[in-house]
Structure 1
Amino acid sequence: MSKEELKAADGLSEDELIEEEIEELAKQNKKYLRPKEIFAYLLADFIGGSSNPVNMQFYWMNFFNISGKQYANLALFTSMYDALDDPISGFIIDRTRTRWGHFRPYLVIMLPLSMISVFLNYTVLPGLATTQQIMVQLYVTCILGGLAGSYGSAGGLMIYFITPNPNERNWLMTIQQFFSYFSGWIPSVLSVVVTYIPRMFPGVRMQNIYRNYAYIFFVLGVIATIYKFLNTRERFPLPSRKEMKEASIWESVKFAVTTRPFLVGIIANVFGGLQGNLRTSSENFFWLNNTGSLANGFLASLLTGLPKYFITPFVPKVIKRFGERNVYIAGHLWAAACFVIMWLIGYVPFGKKRMALNVIYLAVALTIMQIPNSSNGVAGRVMTADTFDYIEWKYGVRSEGLVSAANNWFGKLNNSLQGWITGMAYQIIGYVALKDQYGNLIPQTSPRILKGIWMIFALIPAASKLLVAITYMFFNVHGKFKEQMEAELAVRRREKLEQQQREEAKAPPQA
């Protein structure tokens, strides 16, 4: 019976009907995840979060000796290529039907391609001597990496359908966010290693330390990914073959981009890319050149990460109390204000001769700025899940692969622009790597270059955070509307699963 027929039969008002639907949802609020499954998911995520030792723009510009303009063109080409591939990969992923599901197989299928990409990321092939030859290798590397990422991203979608219980899903996201802070510490420690090991043992090269770290963690990542594949499962009913045939690439992308929460996310990603790409790429540049040592980044990270460990356990309660949208907006407004204040004060308030005090000040300022980061990380992922739910509620088909591909498509176009801007920013300020006799990096001294790096590090993220906060004020999946939507989805999913079970029971047994 339809909602109107039920209401007429039972004499229920609209509010009473919503309350009954919410109660129905609460009855199904059981736990699905097994301890081994949780461990497998967190282990793979932890290793993956620890696997990248250095920002690739920093690595390629300093050790492969490419210019900012060459990196800009590389980023533009790579993102445009990925943007063309993503709709195709999403279409294929959504139509994959195996006994392991349609997302889980891609955890392992792309591992060989990823291996080749990681190797080429950190090692110049023998015989390549000129910058032009090295650029050809990097173009090939980025194509292979983009292809592996387009299909490998299916594994990342598992967080949204590993359990049909939204509270359990949000809890897993929070735990994952908490463990991700620990995974970030290992690459931070590496900054100390690459700073002091070459000083203690002349002849040891920074580049070799970064490269060996990347290879070791890739092997560990392969082991963790296979373990995740063997110990996790999908728990949402798969779309029927009829639904998959009806959902074309164009229609899926069309309904995705005409969906309000999806559009809000796309626009916010454009603004967020200013902070994500520019500031992330600037961190190693900043600590090395503006403070004199990459190790200062690790010293700062010891302090900046502390609030996350204390705040993250309370994030689910905060989100439940205030709503993920409001938490996300408040966190970005806070960060924008902190960045502006930090920019106005400058990075050497105690003078260049008291760099230790300057580093302490920077660590404290960044710690205060990052207080809401743990809640932002969880709230952002919850809103992504809300967007998937909204599309399923509105259109009746949960096409995570194509919706994610559409999101990635716009994200790649955005990244192509942001990546180009990031490379050109360092070209404009005239950055050139300075090295000692062993090929290890030493700090820049040009005031113009140092001022430019500081602007990229602090001022641009302030504008980015503010624009993201304003954009998410238009995100409409929250409050009572979200509660009603989740209640209706719970009923639909149960009915769909029961229908599939009846159809399977009627189907003749295979010989």
Structure 2
Amino acid sequence: MISVKEKVAYGLGDTASNFIFQTVMLFLTYYYTDIVGLNPATVGSMFLLVRLIDAVTDPLMGSLADRTRTRWGSYRPYLLWLALPFAIISVLAFTTPDTDYQGKLMYAVTSYIALMLMYTAINIPYSALGGVITSDPDERVSVQSYRFIFAMIGGLIVSSFTLPLVGYLGEGDDAKGYQLTMLVMGVVGMCLFLLCFAGTQERLKPEKPLSMPLIAQLKSVWRNDQCRILCLVSVVLLTGILLRNSLTIYYVKYVLNRPEDVTLFVTIGMVGGLIGCAFAHPLAKRLGKIRLYILLQLGAGAACLVNFFIPVNLWLVALAVHFVWGFLLQMSSPLLWAKMADVTDYGEAQTGVRLTGVTFSTIVFFIKVGVALGSAMSGWLLAFYGYEAGSVTEQVSNGIAFSFCILPALMSVLVVIIMRWYTLDTQRVEAAQQQIQAARLSATH
């Protein structure tokens, strides 16, 4: 059994990560279009193009972490080494230079690339750490549940305090406000990463040094059919989530016509997600990870569909439905990450080589593809509807509502369809672990 203290320590790492991840999901599109003044179609394309870099950096970082050998383990050291650089880059990414449009665009592209590189460098090892804390399938769900409870606490802090802090610290200058707000979050995030490093242990260690070339590692991971399914699920799921989250500010301001309630609306969704994460472990024990995951995606899709038909004057109903969406969707997050650890075991049973970092980084890459597609689609769709900052027509308002509700619902349904081919239930995971132990015992005799 893993102690509650260690689970909390692990979760604090995702609180720190979500100071960036949730800020990117919720505010970066708006920051670039309405604060920096960039064209929304350009912003959408930038989000997608930067992900081409992740196609290289994610597996490289996963392979580097797998090969790392220190007295602290393979993955934990990166939390110590990169906590400060992570904080610095976070501030730089939300700094607006006093230049012309081209200068601002070049700075946005460069700083966003730097931010994503740093996020990869610290988050890939952090994610892989969750796969080596324990081998118990049930405890893995518990560890990931704690992780996402604290991730949602990070998201709750972002949603509740970002805009008020921007106003307070900026004193009327939103560009300055975003910069100083990220300074505060960066410093706190750095401290949380250090606490995560100090409070966790790596219990599952490779039997021998990894000598396999990176290309061979990637081919080995890609032959894992269950890994491929999780990759596809990840890109579809995150496309829907990011599309909805990126348009939240626009939806509340221009569809519901309640610009003063953006923070409340976003926060309610985060509170729903926080509560949902707490229910993931007990419900997964009762229903099983696969069945529960499918039911949650169906529920989240239904909530989005209902959202579309709510009259704009029924503010409290819209608020309640957004709470339900957050509750159902985020309850599924710990299940997805627990399945990643299961997929790693399944891959080792197939090949005899443990590739925790590369497996996690491969799936995380597809998560980032989904993040990029969702963010890019939000910019492209705003441009397609004819959005201009501060001036919204009925056509634009209707387009925002459709993209905020119907498209994420379709993504959830597609996830359910893909999950038909995922078969790693508890029995199959335990069989894979027994096969791994037998192989290791055989190698020692």
With normalisation by structure 1, the TM-score equals 0.78
Question: What letter is aligned with 2:38?
Answer: I
Does the CA-based 8 Å contact 2:248-2:266 persist in structure 1? Answer: no
**1:110 counterpart SS class:** helix
Counterpart of 1:368? Answer: 324
Count of residue pairs brought into register by the alignment: 441
1:129 shift after superposition: 1.5
Counterpart of 2:336? Answer: 380
1:426 equivalenced with 2:382 (yes/no): yes
Aligned equivalents of 1:418, 1:368: Cα separation in 2: 21
Counterpart of 2:420? Answer: 473
Counterpart of 2:130? Answer: 159
1:406 equivalenced with 2:358 (yes/no): no
1:305 shift after superposition: 5.3
Question: What letter is aligned with 1:393?
Answer: A
Counterpart of 2:10? Answer: 41
**CA shift digits 1:123-168 (9 cap, x unpaired):** 123xx42111111112211222232122212122211111233333
Aligned equivalents of 1:313, 1:86: Cα separation in 2: 29
Aligned equivalents of 1:142, 1:61: Cα separation in 2: 14
Q: Which runs of 5+ in 1 are unaligned?
A: 1-30, 351-357, 435-443, 503-511
Aligned equivalents of 1:133, 1:57: Cα separation in 2: 18
Question: What letter is aligned with 2:409?
Answer: A
1:67 equivalenced with 2:36 (yes/no): no
- Residue 273 to residue 213, structure 1, CA distance change in 2 (3 Å): same
1:219 equivalenced with 2:166 (yes/no): no
Counterpart of 1:172? Answer: 143
User: Which has the larger displacement, 166-175 or 326-335?
Assistant: 166-175
Q: Which runs of 5+ in 2 are unaligned?
A: none
1:492 shift after superposition: 5.1
- Residue 90 to residue 301, structure 1, CA distance change in 2 (3 Å): closer
Does the CA-based 8 Å contact 1:191-1:297 persist in structure 2? Answer: no
1:103 equivalenced with 2:72 (yes/no): no
Query: 1:318-397 residue pairs with structure 2 within 5 A?
Result: 318-343=283-308, 345-348=309-312, 350=313, 358-397=314-353
RMSD: 2.8
Aligned equivalents of 1:410, 1:312: Cα separation in 2: 22
Query: 1:77-476 residue pairs with structure 2 within 5 A?
Result: 77-125=49-97, 128-152=98-122, 153-190=124-161, 193=164, 204-241=172-209, 244-245=210-211, 247-300=212-265, 303-304=268-269, 312-343=277-308, 345-348=309-312, 350=313, 358-434=314-390, 444-476=391-423
1:467 shift after superposition: 0.1
- Residue 62 to residue 310, structure 1, CA distance change in 2 (3 Å): closer
- Residue 490 to residue 297, structure 1, CA distance change in 2 (3 Å): farther
Aligned equivalents of 2:433, 2:170: Cα separation in 1: 61
Does the CA-based 8 Å contact 2:236-2:370 persist in structure 1? Answer: no
Does the CA-based 8 Å contact 2:277-2:330 persist in structure 1? Answer: yes
1:297 shift after superposition: 3.5
Aligned equivalents of 1:184, 1:149: Cα separation in 2: 16
Aligned equivalents of 1:361, 1:74: Cα separation in 2: 35
1:465 shift after superposition: 0.5
Aligned equivalents of 1:115, 1:369: Cα separation in 2: 31
1:45 shift after superposition: 2.8
**2:247 counterpart SS class:** helix
Aligned equivalents of 1:382, 1:121: Cα separation in 2: 31
Does the CA-based 8 Å contact 1:93-1:151 persist in structure 2? Answer: no
Aligned equivalents of 1:390, 1:111: Cα separation in 2: 32
Aligned equivalents of 1:299, 1:290: Cα separation in 2: 15
Aligned equivalents of 1:192, 1:417: Cα separation in 2: 25
Counterpart of 1:10? Answer: none
1:192 shift after superposition: 6.4
Does the CA-based 8 Å contact 1:308-1:371 persist in structure 2? Answer: yes
Does the CA-based 8 Å contact 2:310-2:317 persist in structure 1? Answer: no
Mark the structure with the bigger radius of gyration.
1
Does the CA-based 8 Å contact 1:117-1:142 persist in structure 2? Answer: no
Does the CA-based 8 Å contact 1:192-1:294 persist in structure 2? Answer: no
- Residue 238 to residue 68, structure 1, CA distance change in 2 (3 Å): same
- Residue 131 to residue 86, structure 1, CA distance change in 2 (3 Å): same
**CA shift digits 1:310-335 (9 cap, x unpaired):** 65544323212221111111111122
With normalisation by structure 2, the TM-score equals 0.89
Does the CA-based 8 Å contact 1:194-1:206 persist in structure 2? Answer: no
1:426 shift after superposition: 1.4
Does the CA-based 8 Å contact 1:83-1:408 persist in structure 2? Answer: no
1:377 shift after superposition: 1.8
Aligned equivalents of 1:311, 1:73: Cα separation in 2: 33
**CA shift digits 1:269-300 (9 cap, x unpaired):** 23223312211110112112222334423434
Does the CA-based 8 Å contact 2:231-2:362 persist in structure 1? Answer: no
Aligned equivalents of 2:244, 2:347: Cα separation in 1: 33
**CA shift digits 1:147-190 (9 cap, x unpaired):** 21222121222111112333333222222333333333222223
User: Which has the larger displacement, 56-65 or 359-368?
Assistant: 359-368
Aligned equivalents of 1:305, 1:112: Cα separation in 2: 27
**CA shift digits 1:75-127 (9 cap, x unpaired):** 122111121222322222221111111111111333354244212211123xx
Does the CA-based 8 Å contact 1:325-1:383 persist in structure 2? Answer: no
- Residue 49 to residue 72, structure 1, CA distance change in 2 (3 Å): closer
Question: What letter is aligned with 1:470?
Answer: I
- Residue 78 to residue 331, structure 1, CA distance change in 2 (3 Å): same
Aligned equivalents of 2:361, 2:277: Cα separation in 1: 29
Question: What letter is aligned with 1:249?
Answer: L
Aligned equivalents of 1:462, 1:273: Cα separation in 2: 12
**CA shift digits 1:7-41 (9 cap, x unpaired):** xxxxxxxxxxxxxxxxxxxxxxxx24473x33432
**1:160 counterpart SS class:** coil
- Residue 75 to residue 237, structure 1, CA distance change in 2 (3 Å): same
1:432 shift after superposition: 1.8
